[in-house]
């Protein structure tokens, strides 16, 4: 027993005392990729897709670790406190730019991290149950003006992408819809397909099967351009709510202070992964597009997103007091 | 409808050597993770998902499905042997299964669990094949008011779980409801009773409470009492159920299967509800309800059938509507999408070989599971003859690993330990544990659906009686109350007459 403990402790000691290896040798051991959401969600799907391909290109395995909880805060906090040696990476999404406005955080969402790369983006899509007598964004706006606060929309919960996309719509179109929150996107979608809540600003991937089956009617997509998955569906901006844009994004960051050479190395590997046709196609089936952005550009993008959604959280009074 | 032709097509696909192999791998992995507590099908499927990209879609789906329902078989094993629920759904099995093991009847308990599960799996598979789409449409007519009334009925029926002291049972239900409140409020986003601990904003995990009060509490209790530690090895009489065991199990298996199929079709119900309902029903129907909690085989046969039927029928909304009823089903949908198959109603018509192949493989997989599990019974039972000083550290270690692996969260291990101590205290004071867990499961769903129903109905409580399905549950709830009140009334009349 004591012998074993001594052995384990000394092994741990060796591991801890190992001198920081030169950045050019990176990586010399497997890389940990923290996904701050449970298996099965978009963050997880995107993260795992990148992990398996990134591992091949870096020459060491990239091990996915789901540290879910508190809307992504738990996993993000673990990554923020990890050693900035390139062996801990974090997959973030839109939630990263929203959480600071909703929860007390023990990390700075911008300063605690070194941005590496945007992995992909995917717009939302505004769908209604076929029983709702509207055929366009304009119809919906008119109906909502006629019956303020009566038309109900379902979301995956307070602060979710589905919730924020709808609140942004309400602010920009100047209408009032009633928010019905659920625990996750799946139950919310079931309620809308069942015709109980009538409207949802859902992620494209989750919604496409039911649109194709005629169970849900698409009114508009939330991107700046139409989406190839639904080429006949106009954008919400085209539909009359000018400049409306609600796009979820997934990105890769490392703890602040990660050596620039290592960040560069990972950035290049990610760019290669993104360029691979098989990866592009797998993203496409998820309703997402790969997007390449320089590390500095990504940092600025995070700032913009934070202020954009911060305004929505404040103006829509989403934060509970 | 050309059911026969479809089934022939399905078996043709499922019986190919490759698909049989994937099916076997799936159920084998499922059994293993089912035996290990905490390590559930969700995490396993997420990990194996990338591997399935290179496998043909049918084979991938067959394997992933096998893991899922295989876990339901395996979950009961540790519940019966050492009071450690391997999966959420097998918590109820602990109550009587473990008592049977203590009486040297682990073998019959395991055998009945496996055979009941096989029967339920067969029925579940048939249901998907015969009536998948209409059942899914029925499930869609359930919204917040229906779910609330259904849960209310369950909670009222929970009084049946009372063992002896009614006041103590009710106290435990209420305590369960309160524990279930911890976490973020769905409607406002406010964290309740989290005391600033980030992990608690997601609430207390079911596995944490169940493993704590059952497995860890039991171990502490055994350690404090030398005579209890050797009981299991004393009198292992027979490995397989007697004629009497089988006779007692038939009814519970049939009723459990029906209940499980009902709850399985509804996407808004968790895994433990089907097995809890079955347990309550059997206890209510039993001529001598006092045997429950003391090793009644009905308490194993019913819930185990219910949870397997539930697991099987959870495929209905996923396959016929492309809607996920649980995290595992969401992952399966993900697997389909990545394979380039658009899930949804059109899968049945556009990819019949996939749909029917999967259904046929499920039945084959269930058969494999029985063949796999029955011979293992002897081995499992022999495991119990291990000296307790070796067995209990092993149980503790597996409990800790299991609890940790749900969310990779160290805090949950501490919480499980805390619940272990609480479980011991409750056991010693004669407070029953099952009502606590039922309150814990139902409480959050009751609250969520009550508030959602009122929100969607603009605050009008009449919504619960104006919607027909909801009304049926409300009336049934009243009926249960009347039936329960009756013996009390009669007793009082007799008292007056005396």
Stronger pLDDT, B494 or B343, i.e. the higher one: B343
Residue A141 burial (CB count, 10 A)? 18
Contact between A218 and A230 (Cβ < 8 Å):
yes
Which chain A residues are closer than 8 Å to B340 by Cβ? Answer: 285
Provide the token pair at B202. 């997601």
B57-82 and B352-383 helices, crossing angle to 10°: 30
* A52 inside 8 A of chain B by CB: yes
Give the tens place of pLDDT for each residue, B382-392. Answer: 877 778 788 88
pLDDT at A19 over 50: no
Task: Write down the pTM of the prediction.
Answer: 0.83
**A122 φ, ψ to 5°?**
-150, 130
pLDDT at B232 over 60: no
Our CA-based measurement puts residue A246 at a distance from the nearest CA of chain B, in whole angstroms, of: 21
Stronger pLDDT, B156 or B471, i.e. the higher one: B471
* A124 inside 8 A of chain B by CB: no
Considering only CB atoms, A67 lies closest to which of B186, B325, B408, namely B408
Structural domains counted in chain A:
2
Which chain A residues are closer than 8 Å to B448 by Cβ? Answer: 183
Per-window interface: A 292-311 vs B, CB < 8 A = none
Our CA-based measurement puts residue B263 at a distance from the nearest CA of chain A, in whole angstroms, of: 15
**Are A128 and A187 in a shared domain?**
yes
Point out the domain boundary residue: A202, A221, A240: A221
**Are A187 and A155 in a shared domain?**
yes
**Whether A45 and B189 lie within 8 Å, measured CB to CB:** no
Q: What pLDDT, on the 0 to 100 scale, is given for residue A268?
A: 93
**Are A252 and A180 in a shared domain?**
no
Q: Which residues pair with A179 in a beta bridge?
A: A153
Which chain A residues are closer than 8 Å to B406 by Cβ? Answer: none
Which chain B residues are closer than 8 Å to A106 by Cβ? Answer: 198
Alpha carbons B76 and B79: distance in angstroms, whole number: 5
Q: How confident is the model at residue B37 (pLDDT cuts 50, 70, 90)?
A: low
Which chain B residues are closer than 8 Å to A319 by Cβ? Answer: 189
**A115 φ, ψ to 5°?**
-70, 140
pLDDT at B303 over 80: yes
pLDDT at A10 over 70: no
Note whether residue A232 is domain-resident: no
* B447 inside 8 A of chain A by CB: no
**Whether A39 and B45 lie within 8 Å, measured CB to CB:** yes
Contact between B90 and B226 (Cβ < 8 Å):
no
**Are A280 and A196 in a shared domain?**
no
Give the tens place of pLDDT for each residue, A127-156. Answer: 999 999 999 999 999 999 999 999 999 999
What mean pLDDT do residues B240-262 have? Answer: 91
Give the tens place of pLDDT for each residue, B51-107. Answer: 777 788 889 889 999 998 888 888 888 888 888 887 777 889 988 998 898 888 888
**Are A210 and A252 in a shared domain?**
no
Residues near B496 by beta carbon (within 8 Å), at least 6 away in sequence: none
Q: How confident is the model at residue A304 (pLDDT cuts 50, 70, 90)?
A: very high
Provide the token pair at A57. 């290109």
What mean pLDDT do residues A190-219 have? Answer: 89
Alpha carbons A220 and A233: distance in angstroms, whole number: 6
Average pLDDT taken over every residue of chain B: 85
* A74 inside 8 A of chain B by CB: yes
A208: domain CATH number is 3.40.190.10
Stronger pLDDT, A141 or B498, i.e. the higher one: A141
Note whether residue A13 is domain-resident: no
A310: domain CATH number is 3.40.190.150
**Whether A190 and B346 lie within 8 Å, measured CB to CB:** no
pLDDT at A177 over 50: yes
* Of the candidate ranges A14-28, A79-93, A103-117, A162-176, the one whose mean pLDDT is the lowest: A14-28
Q: How confident is the model at residue B450 (pLDDT cuts 50, 70, 90)?
A: very high
**Are A115 and A255 in a shared domain?**
yes
Q: What pLDDT, on the 0 to 100 scale, is given for residue B14?
A: 86
Provide the token pair at A151. 């038309």
* A285 inside 8 A of chain B by CB: yes
Our CA-based measurement puts residue A98 at a distance from the nearest CA of chain B, in whole angstroms, of: 13
Note whether residue A226 is domain-resident: no
Alpha carbons B142 and B137: distance in angstroms, whole number: 9
B160-to-B142, B156, B283 alpha-carbon distances in Å: 26, 8, 7
Preferred mutation among A151, A153, A186, A273 to probe B, highest tally of B CBs within 10 A? A186
Which chain A residues are closer than 8 Å to B332 by Cβ? Answer: none
**Are A113 and A167 in a shared domain?**
no
Considering only CB atoms, B340 lies closest to which of A152, A209, A285, namely A285
Q: Tally A–B CB contacts below 8 A.
A: 137
Q: What pLDDT, on the 0 to 100 scale, is given for residue B160?
A: 67
Strand B191-192 to B183-184 pairing: antiparallel
Which chain B residues are closer than 8 Å to A48 by Cβ? Answer: 46, 49-50
Among all residues of chain A, which has the CA nearest to that of B344? A209
* B454 inside 8 A of chain A by CB: no
Counting Cβ atoms within 10 Å, is residue A20 exposed (0-12), middle (13-18) or buried (19+)? exposed
Count H helices and E strands in chain A, helices first: 11, 10
Residue A52 burial (CB count, 10 A)? 18
Indicate the length of chain B as a whole number.
498
Our CA-based measurement puts residue A71 at a distance from the nearest CA of chain B, in whole angstroms, of: 9
Q: How confident is the model at residue B146 (pLDDT cuts 50, 70, 90)?
A: very high
Q: What pLDDT, on the 0 to 100 scale, is given for residue B288?
A: 84
Our CA-based measurement puts residue B344 at a distance from the nearest CA of chain A, in whole angstroms, of: 6
pLDDT at B234 over 80: no
Residues near B434 by beta carbon (within 8 Å), at least 6 away in sequence: B92, B95, B161, B276, B279, B293
Alpha carbons A68 and A75: distance in angstroms, whole number: 6
Give the tens place of pLDDT for each residue, B395-428. Answer: 888 888 888 877 788 899 999 999 999 999 998 9
What mean pLDDT do residues A284-311 have? Answer: 89
* A182 inside 8 A of chain B by CB: yes
Note whether residue A193 is domain-resident: yes
Q: Which residues pair with A178 in a beta bridge?
A: A152
Q: What pLDDT, on the 0 to 100 scale, is given for residue B424?
A: 93
Which chain B residues are closer than 8 Å to A195 by Cβ? Answer: 140
Three-class DSSP category at A247: strand
pLDDT at A16 over 60: no
Give the tens place of pLDDT for each residue, A208-242. Answer: 878 888 899 999 999 999 988 899 999 999 999 99
**Are A213 and A159 in a shared domain?**
yes
Residues near A278 by beta carbon (within 8 Å), at least 6 away in sequence: none
Among all residues of chain A, which has the CA nearest to that of B445? A183
B41-52 and B57-82 helices, crossing angle to 10°: 160
What share of chain B in percent tops pLDDT 90?
26
- Domain limits for position A156: 123-221
* A66 inside 8 A of chain B by CB: yes
Note whether residue A116 is domain-resident: yes
Q: Residue B199: which of A35, A95, A74, A98 has the closest Cα?
A: A74
Note whether residue A1 is domain-resident: no
Q: What is the DSSP letter of A107?
A: S
**Whether A40 and B334 lie within 8 Å, measured CB to CB:** yes
Q: Is the CA virtual torsion A293, A299, A302, A303 positive or negative?
A: negative
What mean pLDDT do residues B117-137 have? Answer: 89
Stronger pLDDT, A124 or B336, i.e. the higher one: A124
What mean pLDDT do residues B331-348 have? Answer: 77
Alpha carbons B56 and B117: distance in angstroms, whole number: 29
* A30 inside 8 A of chain B by CB: no
Give the tens place of pLDDT for each residue, A20-45. Answer: 555 668 888 999 999 998 776 778 88
Counting Cβ atoms within 10 Å, is residue A180 exposed (0-12), middle (13-18) or buried (19+)? buried
Indicate the length of chain A as a whole number.
321
What mean pLDDT do residues B256-262 have? Answer: 93
* A130 inside 8 A of chain B by CB: no
* B42 inside 8 A of chain A by CB: yes
Considering only CB atoms, A209 lies closest to which of B45, B327, B344, namely B344
Note whether residue A23 is domain-resident: no
Q: What pLDDT, on the 0 to 100 scale, is given for residue B138?
A: 87
**Are A129 and A115 in a shared domain?**
no
Per-window interface: B 270-289 vs A, CB < 8 A = none
The region that residue B119 occupies, defined by phi over 0 for left and psi between -120 and 50 for alpha, beta otherwise, is alpha
Our CA-based measurement puts residue A295 at a distance from the nearest CA of chain B, in whole angstroms, of: 28
Considering only CB atoms, A39 lies closest to which of B46, B140, B321, namely B46
Contact between B287 and B237 (Cβ < 8 Å):
no
**Are A72 and A134 in a shared domain?**
no
Residue A160: alpha-carbon gap to chain centroid: 10
Residue B47 burial (CB count, 10 A)? 13
What mean pLDDT do residues B328-343 have? Answer: 78
Residue A62 burial (CB count, 10 A)? 23
Per-window interface: B 334-363 vs A, CB < 8 A = 334, 337-338, 340, 342-346
Q: How confident is the model at residue B327 (pLDDT cuts 50, 70, 90)?
A: confident
Preferred mutation among B145, B184, B200, B409 to probe A, highest tally of A CBs within 10 A? B184
Considering only CB atoms, B140 lies closest to which of A77, A159, A193, namely A193
**Are A117 and A166 in a shared domain?**
no
Note whether residue A271 is domain-resident: yes
Q: How confident is the model at residue A68 (pLDDT cuts 50, 70, 90)?
A: confident
* Of the candidate ranges A225-239, B224-238, B370-384, the one whose mean pLDDT is the lowest: B224-238
**Are A50 and A117 in a shared domain?**
yes
What mean pLDDT do residues A267-291 have? Answer: 86
Q: Which residues pair with A203 in a beta bridge?
A: A124
Q: How confident is the model at residue A87 (pLDDT cuts 50, 70, 90)?
A: very high
Average pLDDT taken over every residue of chain A: 88
């Amino acid at each position: 027993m004591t012998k074993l403990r001594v052995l384990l402790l000394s092994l741990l000691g060796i591991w801890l005392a190992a001198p920081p290896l030169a950045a050019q040798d990176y990586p010399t051991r497997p890389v940990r990729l923290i996904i701050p959401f449970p298996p099965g969600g978009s963050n997880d799907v995107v993260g795992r897709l990148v992990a398996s391909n990134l591992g091949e290109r870096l020459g060491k395995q990239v091990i996915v670790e789901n540290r879910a909880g508190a809307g992504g805060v738990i996993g993000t906090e673990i990554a923020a406190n990890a050693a900035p040696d390139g062996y801990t990476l974090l997959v973030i999404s839109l939630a990263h730019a929203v959480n600071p406005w909703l929860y007390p955080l023990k990390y700075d969402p911008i300063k605690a991290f070194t941005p590496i790369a945007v992995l992909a983006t995917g717009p939302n899509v505004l769908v209604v149950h076929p029983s709702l007598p509207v055929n366009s964004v304009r119809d919906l706006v008119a109906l909502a003006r006629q019956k303020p606060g009566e038309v109900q929309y379902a979301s995956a919960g307070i602060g979710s992408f589905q919730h924020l996309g709808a609140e942004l719509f309400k602010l920009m179109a100047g209408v009032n819809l009633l928010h019905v929150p659920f625990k996750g996107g799946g139950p919310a979608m079931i309620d809308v397909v069942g015709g109980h809540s009538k409207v949802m600003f859902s992620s494209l991937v989750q919604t496409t099967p039911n649109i194709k089956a005629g169970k849900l009617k698409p009114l508009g997509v939330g991107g700046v351009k139409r989406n190839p998955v639904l080429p006949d569906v106009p954008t919400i901006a085209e539909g009359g709510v000018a400049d409306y844009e609600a796009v979820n994004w997934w990105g890769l960051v490392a703890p602040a202070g990660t050596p620039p050479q290592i960040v560069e190395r990972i950035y290049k590997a990610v760019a290669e992964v993104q360029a691979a046709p098989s990866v592009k196609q797998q993203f496409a089936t998820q309703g997402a597009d790969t997007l390449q952005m320089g590390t500095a550009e990504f940092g600025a993008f995070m700032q913009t997103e934070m202020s954009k959604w911060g305004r929505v959280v404040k103006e829509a009074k989403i934060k509970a007091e | 409808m050309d059911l026969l032709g479809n089934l022939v097509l399905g078996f043709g696909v499922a019986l190919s050597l490759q698909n049989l192999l994937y099916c076997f791998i799936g159920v084998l992995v499922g059994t293993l993770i089912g035996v290990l507590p905490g390590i559930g099908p969700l995490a396993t499927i997420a990990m194996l998902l990338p591997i399935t990209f290179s496998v043909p879609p049918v084979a991938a789906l067959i394997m992933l499905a096998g893991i899922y329902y295989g876990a339901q078989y395996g979950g009961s094993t540790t519940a019966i042997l050492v009071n450690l629920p391997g999966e959420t759904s097998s918590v109820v099995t602990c109550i009587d299964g473990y008592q049977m093991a203590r009486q040297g009847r682990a073998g019959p308990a395991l055998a009945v669990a496996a055979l009941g599960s096989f029967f339920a799996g067969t029925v579940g598979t048939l249901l998907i094949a015969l009536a998948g789409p209409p059942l899914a449409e029925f499930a869609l007519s359930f919204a917040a008011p229906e779910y609330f009334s259904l849960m209310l009925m369950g909670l009222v029926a929970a009084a049946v779980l009372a063992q002896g002291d009614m006041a103590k049972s009710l106290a435990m239900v209420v305590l369960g409801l309160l524990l279930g409140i911890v976490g973020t409020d769905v409607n406002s986003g406010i964290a309740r009773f989290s005391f600033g601990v980030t992990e608690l904003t997601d609430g207390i995990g079911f596995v944490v409470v169940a493993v704590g009060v059952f497995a860890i509490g039991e171990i502490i209790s055994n350690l404090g009492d030398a005579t209890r530690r050797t009981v299991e090895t004393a009198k292992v009489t027979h490995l397989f159920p007697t004629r009497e065991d089988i006779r007692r199990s038939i009814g519970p298996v049939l009723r459990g299967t029906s209940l499980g199929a009902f709850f399985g079709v509804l996407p808004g119900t968790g895994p433990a509800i089907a097995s809890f309902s079955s347990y309550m029903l059997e206890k209510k129907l039993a001529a001598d309800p006092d045997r429950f909690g003391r090793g009644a085989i009905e308490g194993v046969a019913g819930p185990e059938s219910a949870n397997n039927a539930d697991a099987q029928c959870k495929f209905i909304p996923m396959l016929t509507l492309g809607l996920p009823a649980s995290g595992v089903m969401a992952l399966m949908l993900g697997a389909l999408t990545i394979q380039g198959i658009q899930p949804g109603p059109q899968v049945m018509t556009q990819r019949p070989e996939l749909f029917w192949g999967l259904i046929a493989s499920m039945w084959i997989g269930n058969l494999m599971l029985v063949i796999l599990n029955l011979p293992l019974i002897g081995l499992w039972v022999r495991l119990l003859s291990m000296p307790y000083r070796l067995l209990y550290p092993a149980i503790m270690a597996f409990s800790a690993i299991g609890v940790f692996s749900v969310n990779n969260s160290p805090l949950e291990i501490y919480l499980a330990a805390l619940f272990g101590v609480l479980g011991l205290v409750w056991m010693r004071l004669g407070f029953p544990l099952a009502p606590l867990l039922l309150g814990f499961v139902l409480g959050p769903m009751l609250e969520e659906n009550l508030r959602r129903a009122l929100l969607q109905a603009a605050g009008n409580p009449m919504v619960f009686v104006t919607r027909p399905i909801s009304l049926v549950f409300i009336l049934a709830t009243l009926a249960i109350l009347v039936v329960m009140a009756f013996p009390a009334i009669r007793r009082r009349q007799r008292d007056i007459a005396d």
